[in-house]
């Protein structure tokens, strides 16, 4: 692994760990394994626009990891100074889902296959931690990355009480892999996902595959910020 010593030392110090010995890598799904964020961003942006509310694609990326109702409520609070009604939440989220159905295609993230192979060859365990509850996308993991993901090593929306940025999803992922936080590396693309992984105590790689600024991931606490999965492969290979 090509992670430099100062980065490791800073991470050890921050978490009060004595020494590292990585045994597994937990991967986020949207924006890491599949290039699905552009479709989410366009769908949310257009759904809100239909209700006369400005919500940029950049804001969608910042919001990644929130539930649909959380997203609607956050936008209403910021722009109207009140929570959305249940009817507003349902109408907006339904519209977003309709648009997403219309636009979404399954696009594997460039370089993701190579990262997974490199991690497997390095002898590290592999797990998935996603806030997604889309059964179709999860099923496609095996189609695009055959033989990599064991269903017993996956944490989805159905497995947790609290979504990211709460640490629960990543802590559950560690339990599923049978490894401790100080033995875990996380690969995440979203600020809230980064915060969840950092709170869970993992060495957190923020990979900026979308339209965010690098600072968005650094400020969320990422130990390392990279620009694409090729760089993750270079970091985790060998
Ligand atoms: Mg993501």
Cis peptide before 210 (omega within 30 of 0): no
d(CA 157, CA 82) in angstroms, rounded, equals 27
Q: What's the confidence (pLDDT) of residue 134?
A: 73
CATH T-level assignment (fold) for domain 37-103: DNA polymerase; domain 1 (1.10.150)
Whole-Å CA distances, 147 to 37, 38, 117, 138: 25, 27, 11, 14
Q: What's the confidence (pLDDT) of residue 137?
A: 65
Q: What's the confidence (pLDDT) of residue 50?
A: 96
Instruction: Supply φ then ψ for residue 120, to 5 degrees.
Output: -65, -45
Give 226 Cα–ligand 1 centroid separation in angstroms: 14
Residue 49: CB atoms within 10 Å: 11
Superfamily of domain 5-36+107-236: HAD superfamily/HAD-like (3.40.50.1000)
CA end-to-end span of the chain: 6
Full pLDDT tens readout for the chain, 238 residues:
788 999 999 999 999 999 889 999 999 999 999 999 999 999 999 999 999 999 999 999 999 988 888 899 999 999 999 999 999 999 999 999 999 999 999 999 999 999 999 999 999 999 999 988 777 767 789 999 999 999 899 999 889 999 999 999 999 999 999 999 999 999 999 999 999 999 999 999 999 999 999 999 999 999 999 999 999 999 998 6
Q: What's the confidence (pLDDT) of residue 217?
A: 98
Give 10 Cα–ligand 1 centroid separation in angstroms: 25
Give 172 Cα–ligand 1 centroid separation in angstroms: 17
Give 229 Cα–ligand 1 centroid separation in angstroms: 13
Q: Could you give the residue ranges of the DSSP H alpha helices within the chain?
A: 5-15, 37-50, 57-63, 68-80, 86-103, 112-121, 135-144, 168-177, 191-199, 214-219, 229-236
Give 179 Cα–ligand 1 centroid separation in angstroms: 22
Q: What's the confidence (pLDDT) of residue 164?
A: 93
d(CA 83, CA 141) in angstroms, rounded, equals 36
List the chain domain ranges.
5-36+107-236, 37-103
Q: What's the confidence (pLDDT) of residue 133?
A: 78
From the list 217, 224, 232, 212, the residue with the least C-alpha distance to 113 is: 232
């Amino acid at each position: 692994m090509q992670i430099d010593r100062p980065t490791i030392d800073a991470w050890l110090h921050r978490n009060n760990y004595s020494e590292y010995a990585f045994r597994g890598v937990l991967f986020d799904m949207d924006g890491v394994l599949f290039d699905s964020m552009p479709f989410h961003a366009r769908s949310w942006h257009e759904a809100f626009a239909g209700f006369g509310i400005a919500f940029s694609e950049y804001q969608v990326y910042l919001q990644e990891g929130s539930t649909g109702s959380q997203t609607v409520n956050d936008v209403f609070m910021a722009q109207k100074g009140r929570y959305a009604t249940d009817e507003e939440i349902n109408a907006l989220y339904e519209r977003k889902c309709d648009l997403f159905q219309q636009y979404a295609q399954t696009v594997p993230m460039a370089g993701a296959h190579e990262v997974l192979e490199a991690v497997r060859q390095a002898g590290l365990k592999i797990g998935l931690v996603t806030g997604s509850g889309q059964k179709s996308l999860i099923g496609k993991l095996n189609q695009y990355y055959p033989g990599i993901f064991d269903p017993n090593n996956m944490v989805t929306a159905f497995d947790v009480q609290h979504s990211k940025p709460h640490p629960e999803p990543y802590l559950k992922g560690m339990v599923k892999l049978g490894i401790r936080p100080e033995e875990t590396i996380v690969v995440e693309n979203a600020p809230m996902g980064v915060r969840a992984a950092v709170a869970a105590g993992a060495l957190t790689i923020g990979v900026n595959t979308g339209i965010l600024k690098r600072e968005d991931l650094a400020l969320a606490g990422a130990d390392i910020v990279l620009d694409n999965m090729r760089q993750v492969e270079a970091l985790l290979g060998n």
